[in-house]
Copies of this chain bind each other. A is one copy, B any other.
C-alpha cells in the first residue's frame, strides 16, 4: 500500500458522496484541521465527485478555524454531495482523464473520498488510474453511511447517531402511545431507513427489553414479511400489553420478493414511488384487527438529527477524517481508515487502515444471530454490538434563539483553469 515519498508540494482534495449524515461534517473537520496542522491546503469538491469533474472546487482555507471547528456539530454535507457513480475505466475513460486533468491543473496530490461502498470503489479506481495516466495521486477512502453496511469496519460513521435517534424516538413515541391506548391509538408504526439491511431498525430494539417493552415488533429486510405472523403478533401484543409499537425497515418484502410498499395493496394505496411501508402496514392492521393506529416516517429527520448525535459516532467521524490525512501524508494509497472495536464494555475502539479492495462494492449484512428466532426482535448479541454505538451525547451548542448553532461555510470557489466539461 505504501507508494513513493511524499510530494514536496501539492493540495489535498476532499469530497463528500452519497446520502449525507449527522456527522459527515465532523469528518470534514477532521480532514481540514489535520491538513492545516501539516500546512496542507484543502480543496473541497462542490457536490462530490461531480465538482471534481466540473472543476468546481472550494478553497476551504477561506473559512476560519472557528467555522471549521463548527463543522464538528453541523449536520448535512457542508460542500454538497452527489449520487453519481463513475463508470468503469473501460466504459468511460474520458471521465477519468478529465479527473486527472483537474487534479493536475490544481496540483492536487491527495484525494480523500468520503462515502459508502460505491465511493470506496470510485476511490479505488482513481488510485489505480493515476499510474495509468502518469499522474502521481494518492487516494484514500473515508467511511460514511447511515446504513452501516460497509465491510471490514466495525461500524460506519453516521450510523451511531441515526441509531440513537431511532432508539430515543421509539422510546418517546411509545410512551405517548401507551398513554392513548385505552380510547385511541393502539398500534404505532415507525418506518425507518434501510432498503437492504435492517441495522437502523435493529437499533430501535435498544429502546426496550423483554416482550412487553417497545418496540414489540421489528420488521427487517433480512426476513420475508409474513402477514399472518405479523398480524398474530400485533393482536397478541395488544391483548397482553394494551398497545403495540412496530418498527419497520423501508425495505421489507413479501414472499414474492416485492417491496411491501409497492406490493399487494398497491391499487388502494397509490403509486409505488410515494414510498411508505408504514401506511401499508397501518392499513393492514386496521383491516385485519380494527385497531386505531398512528404511523410516522421521519425520513431525512433521522439522518440529519445532529441534535441527537451519539458521542462515539461524532468522535469516530472526526477520527476517520483525521486518520485519512495521516495516511495520505504517509504516502499510503488505496486504503480506508476503519473502526476496530477492542472492547464492548467499556466500549473501546481504534482506527486502523484497510485496503479499499476489501471494501469496494461489498455489503455487510446483519449477522443471522442478531435476529430472534421469530424474526421480530434483536438478540443479546445484537445488543452487545449496538449498545455502545448510541452511548454518550454530543449536543450542538444552542443560540439564544433556541436553535442549534449550525455553521454555513463561505464555500469560496477556486478559479477555474480548464475548459468546461459536462459530466
Contacts and interface: CB of A to CB of B under 8 A. Distances in A.
A301 B296 contact: yes
B304 A175 contact: yes
A69 B295 CA distance: 31
A303 interface: yes
Interface stretch (A251-259, A275-283, A329-337): A275-283
A228 interface: no
A19 interface: yes
Interface stretch (A92-100, A215-223, A305-313, A349-357): A305-313
Contacts of A178: 76, 80
Nearest to A16: B179
A344 interface: no
Given A164-B402, A182-B82, A298-B296, A172 B19 contact: no
Number of copies: 2
A420 interface: no
A22 B84 CA distance: 41
B286 A179 contact: no
A300 interface: yes
A168 B404 contact: yes
A177 interface: yes
A175 B50 contact: no
A269 interface: yes
Residue of A172, A271, A387, A395 with highest tally of chain B CB at under 10 A:
A172
Contacts of A297: 295-299
Given A20-B176, A75-B175, A47 B182 contact: yes
A395 B77 CA distance: 26
A171 interface: yes
A67 to B, nearest CB: 15
A81 B384 CA distance: 36
The 6 closest A-B pairs by CB, nearest first: A76-B175, A77-B179, A296-B299, A390-B402, A269-B270, A47-B182
Given A168-B403, A171-B404, A295-B297, 14 more contacts: A48-B183, A77-B176, A80-B179, A80-B181, A82-B182, A82-B184, A168-B307, A175-B406, A206-B401, A270-B279, A274-B279, A294-B299, A390-B401, A393-B395
Interface of A: 16, 19-20, 22, 47-48, 50, 74-78, 80-84, 164, 167-169, 171-185, 188, 190, 206-207, 268-271, 273-276, 279, 282-283, 286, 294-301, 303-308, 310, 387, 390-393, 395, 398, 400-404, 406
10 contacts: A20-B180, A75-B172, A176-B300, A185-B300, A207-B403, A270-B270, A271-B283, A274-B279, A387-B401, A393-B398
